[in-house]
Chains A and B, each alone.
Chain A
Amino acid sequence: MTVKISKSIPPLLWIGAFIASIFLIVPFIGLSQRTPWSTFFQIVTEEAVFQSITLSLVVATSATAICFLLGLPLGWVLARSHVKGLKVIRAIVLLPMVLPPVAGGTALLFALGRKGFIGEKLDSWFGLTLPFTTAGAIIAATFVSLPFFVLAIETAASQLDTHFEESSLSLGAGPTRTFFTASLPMIKPAIFAGIALSWARALGEFGATITFAGDNPERTRTLPLQLFVALETNPERAMVLGMLMVIISLSVLVALRGKWISTQ
C-alpha cells in the first residue's frame, strides 16, 4: 500500500515541486558561484570575521538554551491545556515569526531598552542596560527563534498518542513523573527539531539584533551584521560570510532535523 501511495503523486504536483525546489536552490548556486573559494579560509580566519563567528556561536547557542528552557513548557501547555485565553497566547507566540524582525527589535527597545517600561527599572534598580550588549543580542535572537521551538513541541505534543501517559497516570504516577518518564521521551525527536530550527534561526538573526542591540564590533556584531557591513565595504568578505552561514545552517538542519524526520 505505501509503495502505491508514493508512486501516485499527480504529475502536476511534481512540476510544482520541481519549480519550488529550483526557486529555493538557485540563489545558493548564485552565491556559491561568486564565492572566492581560493581565499575562503584566509577570510574566515581574519580577526574581525573570526570574532563574529565566535560571537554568533555564543549568541545562537545561548538563545537556543533559553528557547529550550522556556519553549518546552510553553509548547506543552499550549498543546495540552484548555485554559481560556490560550488562543490569544498561541497567536502572540507566532507573531515574531511573521513580523519583520526590525519591528520585533523596536518592540524590544520599547520594553527592555534604557527608557523602556521594564528596561528603565532594570537600569535604575540594578544598573543593568541591555542595548549594545551581548545579553541584548541574545535576547533579540531568543525573541525571534522561540516560536520555532514552541511550535515544534506543540505540534508533537498534540499529535502524541496519550496511551502511555494514561497508563502511567492510572498506575499512580503523578503528572510530573509522568511528564518526565512517559511524555518527554516520546517528544525527543521534536525537541531535536526545535533545537535545530531555533538555533539556525538565531544564527541568522539580523533585524531585531541591529535595532535592539545595535552594532558594536566586540559585543553585538554577529555574522549577519558583519555580512551587512561587509556588503558595503568588502563584497568578497560578504560572499564568504554568506556562504559560511549557508554551510553552518545547512549542516545543523540536516544533522538534527534529518534525525527527527527519520525517527518519525
Chain B
Amino acid sequence: MTTSQNFRGILRLNAFLAVFSFLSLSCGLSQNSLHVMAASSLTEAFEEIAEEFKKETQVEISLTIAGSASLASQIEDGAKVDVVAVADEETMKRINSTKRVEEGSLEIFATNYLVLATPLGNPGSIESLQDLKGRISAICSPQVPCGKLSLKLAIQENIDLNPSSLEPNVRSVRTKIELGEVDAGLIYITDVNAKINYITIDRSEQIATNYPIASIQGGKIESTDFIEFVLSPAGQKILEKYRFGAPS
C-alpha cells in the first residue's frame, strides 16, 4: 500500500512540477520589459545602455545576445522581439526581407573596424596581414558580419588569408587568440582587451561596418524611446567608451 501511495504522490508531484515549470517558462518575459536582441560584439555596451535606460525610464530591458546571423534566423522564425541591433547592414536587410522591420525606424548607431590581434608577446612575430601566410590563424565564419568584413579586408589588401579556423563569432576568435591556440586573428577594435596585443591595419577603417538598429513590427511603443536613447549623447558616450565609432 505504502509503495503505491508513494508512487501516486510522486506522480502528482511530477505533474505539478511539469505544469509549474511550463507556466513559469512561458511567462518568463515580464510584460513590462522591452525585448532587445543585439549582436555579440555589443554585449558590454548594450548591458550598460540597458542599465542606464532603465534608470531613466523605469523600463526593464531583456537582452538577447547572439551572432547577428542567428538573431536574423530567430526573427525570421517569428521570435517575439521589440528592438534588434546587428553588426552590419546586410543582416538588417535580411531581417527586413520578411517585412518585419517597422518602417522608418532603422538607424545607424555605431561603426566598427577590424584589427589584427595576436597573443601577448606575439609568439608568431606577426607584424602585418602578409605575415599570416603559413601560420595558424582564425577569423570569423563568413556567415557572421565580422567574417564578411574579414573577407572584404582580404580582398581589399589582396591577401589570401587561408585561416585555420572559421569561428562562429568574434568572441571565440578572441578566445583562441587569448589562449595562444592561434598566432593571430582578425577581431573588431571593440573586442580588444588587456589579454591580447593588436596591430591596426592601415586601410581597415575605410571599410568599417555600420551597426543598424530598428524596431520590429508589433513591438512595444517604448522601442522608439530605446532607439532614441542609443542615438542620444548618453548612449553614444557609452558606445564610445567601448571604442565604437560614431555614425557618420
A interface residues (Cβ-Cβ under 8 A, vs B): 12, 109, 113-115, 129, 131-132, 210, 214-217, 220, 228-229, 231-233, 235
Contact = CB atoms under 8 A, between A and B. Distances in A.
Nearest to A217: B166
Contact of A233 (B143, B176, B179, B181): B143
Contacts of B168: 210, 215, 228
Q: Which of A131, A210, A214, A233 has the most CB of B within 10 A?
A: A214
A132 B73 contact: no
Contact of A216 (B72, B144, B164, B181): B164
Interface of B: 11, 67, 69-70, 72-73, 136, 138, 141, 143-144, 163-168, 176, 179-181
22 contacts: A109-B179, A113-B179, A113-B180, A114-B136, A114-B179, A114-B180, A115-B181, A131-B165, A132-B136, A210-B168, A214-B164, A214-B165, A215-B141, A215-B165, A215-B166, A215-B168, A216-B166, A228-B168, A229-B141, A232-B143, A233-B69, A233-B143
Nearest to B142: A233
A223 to B, nearest CB: 16
B187 to A, nearest CB: 15
Contacts of A114: 136, 179-181
A68 to B, nearest CB: 29
B180 A214 contact: no
B166 A231 contact: no
Contacts of A232: 67, 69-70, 72-73, 143-144
Given A216-B164, A231-B73, A232-B70, A12 B181 contact: no
**A interface: dominant SS:** loop
Given A216-B163, A229-B141, 15 more contacts: A12-B11, A109-B181, A113-B181, A114-B181, A129-B136, A131-B165, A131-B181, A214-B138, A214-B164, A215-B141, A215-B165, A216-B164, A232-B143, A233-B143, A235-B73
B147 to A, nearest CB: 10
B141 A214 contact: no
B69 A215 contact: no
A215 B167 contact: yes
Contacts of A233: 69, 143
A147 B194 CA distance: 39
A90 B181 CA distance: 31
A115 B179 contact: yes
Given A109-B181, A114-B181, A232-B143, A214 B176 contact: yes
A115 B180 contact: yes
Nearest to A211: B172
Given A109-B181, A233-B69, A235-B73, A214 B143 contact: no
A228 B172 CA distance: 15
Contacts of B167: 214-215
B168 to A, nearest CB: 7
A217 B163 CA distance: 10
A243 to B, nearest CB: 18
A220 B141 CA distance: 14
Name the 3 nearest CB pairs between A and B, nearest first. Answer: A214-B165, A232-B69, A115-B180
A207 to B, nearest CB: 11
B86 to A, nearest CB: 12
Contacts of B69: 232-233
A229 B179 contact: no
A67 to B, nearest CB: 26
B233 to A, nearest CB: 35
A138 B21 CA distance: 38
Nearest to B18: A19
Contacts of B143: 229, 232-233
A131 B183 CA distance: 13
